[in-house]
Amino acid sequence: MKILLTGSSGFIGSAVTIALLDRGYEVIGIDNHNDYYDPSIKKARLDRYLSHPAFHHYQEDISSVDVMDSIFNKYKPNKVINLAAQAGVRYSIENPSAYIKSNIIGFFNVIEACKKFSVSHLVYASSSSVYGSNSCLPFSPHHSADHPLNLYAATKKSNELIAHSYSHIFGLPTTGLRFFTVYGPWGRPDMALYKFTKAIYNGEVIEIFNDGNHRRDFTYIDDVVEGILRVLDDPPTHNSNWDSSNPDPATSSAPWRIYNIGNSNSVNLMNYITILERTIGKSAIKKYLNIQNGDIPNTLSDIDDLITKYKFQPRTSVEVGIVNFIEWYKKYHQIS
């Protein structure tokens, strides 16, 4: 089994790479190592498996058609996991062109190569951000998600629509996974848990938006990896019961499917910070600010479809997940 995985040096991508190699698969990893956040952690993630005989690393950009065609032609992967993307909600307001290049053009190059080389299943990262101004909780893939609040979310929704067109016209099985606030060891330095932890250890101020009234469905990295692998093993088929007069946004008459991957438990941000403070053994210096433009106040995932189809439910509590993160953080940053 040959799996091509984009974003292989990223937070989620590196964890999935290790899991695939542990399965005995051959993995072709592509990552451009951009400097959106410190590339040194990407290198450190990569160093854990770079020498593995079944891993092939390409420091390339998926926005290049020639690069993608060359790699697909060389390896002819059986399945593809697309996790490469320009991440970050607020950065999409500052630098929108980066999101079009990576999340639209790059995604198109990936799915076009999947069609051209007859890949049996494309699994790709979407996001809970696509739910946008929808305030009906829990968020369900059977709900409409047509009102994104930022460009990042709009590009992820676009990926889902592009995938559907390819599934419909070419019969390419595609599955989109809407991730809910993924955290854990080897996490991204631009995300709240990492930033808060660094600030607390350094005695710096942490900025708490929306006066701390956010609620988030925090999902531990190991649970996300398990969800990806289960979905990868079982490509979607045509939903023979799909009704075009009452269309279900999560399924299709094409081999196309959308799932949430979340913990199905919404945690208040201030409770999250309290657990972090207790784990570190030090209080944070807090600065409360208004909600930021483009932010969703609350998230909570409906994962009934994931449970029904794959008999899988993320279960790692934030108490356990934060302890694991802090243990890794101290080791990585050599804090006694």
Q: Pick from 11, 232, 37: which is nearest to 119 by CA?
A: 232
Neighbours of 24 (CB within 10 A): 8
Residues 258 and 178 sit within 8 Å (Cβ to Cβ): yes
Whole-angstrom distance, CA of residue 314 vs CA of residue 246: 31
Active centre residues (catalytic):
152
- List the alpha helices (DSSP H) in the chain: 11-22, 39-47, 65-75, 91-94, 96-99, 107-116, 151-170, 192-202, 221-233, 269-280, 304-310, 318-332
First CA to last CA distance, the chain: 42
In three-state secondary structure terms, 237 is coil
Distance CA 103, CA 283 (A): 38
